[in-house]
Amino acid sequence: MFKRTLNLFFGILLSITSGSVMTYPIYSYYIKTKFNFSLREINLYATFINIGVWVAFGTGIIYDSLGPRISNAISLLLLPGGFLILYKLIQSSSVSLFWFLLIAIIMGQGSSLAYTNSLSTTAKNFSKKNSSNIVGLVISNCAIAPSIFTSVKTAFYTMSINSYIVFVICYGAVVIVLCLFWFDVIKPKRIDDFNDKLFYEFRQKFIVYIFGYANFISLLIFIGILLFNHIFGIEIPAFIVFILVHVAYIVFIVLERYGEFDEWLEEKFRASHRSHDNNINNDFNFGGRSVEVLVNNEKNNKLENIEQNENNNINNKENENDKDDYKGYSESENIGKIKDKYDFGFNNKNDDKNNVNKNEYSVDVNISKSILRQSFQQNQNINNIGEIVNEANGRISIESDNKINEE
């Protein structure tokens, strides 16, 4: 985690360096006066700087193709190198506007490449959950960079334009050279244990939040000092705020290197996950086990459903087998077989088991009883197998009115 924290720090410095190209209002009036340019011509110089910064297709291709370190080397030639050429042009006695426009494009492209490198590399070194905070952190430092450099020039009001450009060259060159050695994409760490992975994400979030909150507070103090200077007409060096916050960053990185926050972070991590487990009525210390409980519960539910379906299938097969047993027989014969097998027990109406069986075969029984009732009304006799006897020498089946001669 030390390398990622250090890369985040250099990413912030590189974004401030990329914003240095937007300080052209400080020296544009000097160029206009010395070389007798019109207001339209000097505004054209500013426009070409903006074109170089925001037309960034080429710089994106360079970063994707060559990586962070080579991109830093190229931005070193374009941005501090562009300021160096600008310094030489200002030293000249007479220069065409064309050369200023050309150097404006070059510096703009160098700034764009440094900004792309800072944003993309820093975002890749942290998880996707922290990407929004990383983007906000880099963009805010790039946006405030012109005000920081202007504050330096205002604080040292005796500084000449040439000295100011030298300062910008030195600052940009030092930062980019350091980034050549310590600013790169870090390979993601493979973590197999679920709890360790959660703690790793928790630690990343803590580092990003520390940098974000410190940067936000420094911006508020910086803006407050600028307003205070404007209202009361004094010149408090506002850039000191960023010097102090960057010193605080370095101290934090050193403490992180020696693991001074490890014990405190582990306690916070356990406390947060213990409260999460209590919400789901588990006494586990880590969130990973709660996932295991949920998975086991889901498996048990599936097993219960499978077992219930199997029981239903068995019951259905038994019912189908029962129906097959009584195919091909007359209704009277079926009544006898069913009675022998299930023993309905019509006289025992309070027997729950018999009542259940009667309900299952209620249709057949009701039909038989209605036919029997109709037969008794005709003063007919019935034998013990459910056949109606009309004559001494013959019998009539329940299912048919045709006589069957006695064999």
CATH classification of the domain holding 47: 1.20.1250.20
Q: Of 260, 290, 315, which residue constitutes the final position of a domain? A: 260
- The residue that leads in pLDDT, 86 or 355, is 86
* One domain, residues 342 and 248: no
Q: How far is CA 53 from CA 18, 341, 346, in A?
A: 9, 95, 98
pLDDT per residue as tens digits for the range 265-318: 888 878 877 655 555 444 444 444 444 444 455 555 555 566 666 666 655 655
Tell me, yes or no, whether 43 lies in a domain: yes
| Confidence band, pLDDT 50/70/90 cuts, at residue 56 | confident
Question: How many domains are there within the chain?
Answer: 2
Residue-number span of the structural domain to which 201 is assigned: 2-260
394-396: strand order across its sheet: 381-382, 388-391, 394-396, 403-405
Contact 210, 12 (CB under 8 A): no
Q: Rounded distance, CA 403 to CA 357, Å?
A: 34
Q: Of 211, 240, 260, which residue constitutes the final position of a domain? A: 260
* One domain, residues 9 and 116: yes
Tell me, yes or no, whether 265 lies in a domain: no
| Confidence band, pLDDT 50/70/90 cuts, at residue 356 | very low
pLDDT for 247 beyond 50: yes
Tell me, yes or no, whether 307 lies in a domain: no
pLDDT for 48 beyond 70: yes
- DSSP letters for 38-70: -HHHHHHHHHHHHHHHH--HHHHHHHHHHHHHH
Tell me, yes or no, whether 352 lies in a domain: yes
Of 3-7, 135-139, 143-147, 274-278, where does mean pLDDT reach its minimum? 274-278
Tell me, yes or no, whether 268 lies in a domain: no
Contact 254, 245 (CB under 8 A): no
Q: Of 245, 260, 275, which residue constitutes the final position of a domain? A: 260
Contact 23, 239 (CB under 8 A): no
Buried b (16+ CB within 10 A) or exposed e, 383-406: eeebbbeeeeeeebbbeeeeeeee
Q: Residue 218: its pLDDT value, please?
A: 92
* One domain, residues 340 and 228: no
Helix 331-342 to helix 362-377 angle, to the nearest 10 degrees?
120
* One domain, residues 251 and 335: no
* One domain, residues 117 and 252: yes
Q: Residue 188: its pLDDT value, please?
A: 78
* One domain, residues 67 and 195: yes
pLDDT for 66 beyond 50: yes
- Contact residues for 198 (Cβ-Cβ < 8 A; gap 6+): 269, 273, 286, 287, 288
Q: What is the average pLDDT value for the chain, to the nearest integer?
A: 77
* One domain, residues 44 and 166: yes
List residues bridging with 388 in a β-sheet. Answer: 382, 396
Radius of gyration of the chain (CA): 45
In the structure encoding, which two tokens stand for residue 387, read together? 């056949």
| Confidence band, pLDDT 50/70/90 cuts, at residue 107 | very high
Q: Residue 359: its pLDDT value, please?
A: 46
- The residue that leads in pLDDT, 236 or 378, is 236
Q: Rounded distance, CA 185 to CA 124, Å?
A: 7
- Using CB atoms within 10 Å of the CB of residue 104, give its burial: 0 to 12 exposed, 13 to 18 middle, 19+ buried: buried
* One domain, residues 216 and 355: no
- Contact residues for 153 (Cβ-Cβ < 8 A; gap 6+): 23, 26, 159, 164
Report the 3 state secondary structure along 99-160: HHHHHHHHHHHHHHHHHHHHHHHHHHCCCHHHHHHHHHHHHHHHHHHHHHHHHHHHHCCCCC
* One domain, residues 180 and 81: yes
* One domain, residues 119 and 226: yes
* One domain, residues 353 and 241: no
| Confidence band, pLDDT 50/70/90 cuts, at residue 400 | very low
Tell me, yes or no, whether 44 lies in a domain: yes
pLDDT for 374 beyond 70: no
* One domain, residues 247 and 331: no
Q: Residue 300: its pLDDT value, please?
A: 56
Of 201-210, 236-245, 363-372, where does mean pLDDT reach its minimum? 363-372
Q: How far is CA 28 from CA 86, 94, 136, 157, in A?
A: 11, 16, 30, 17
pLDDT for 235 beyond 50: yes
pLDDT for 133 beyond 70: yes
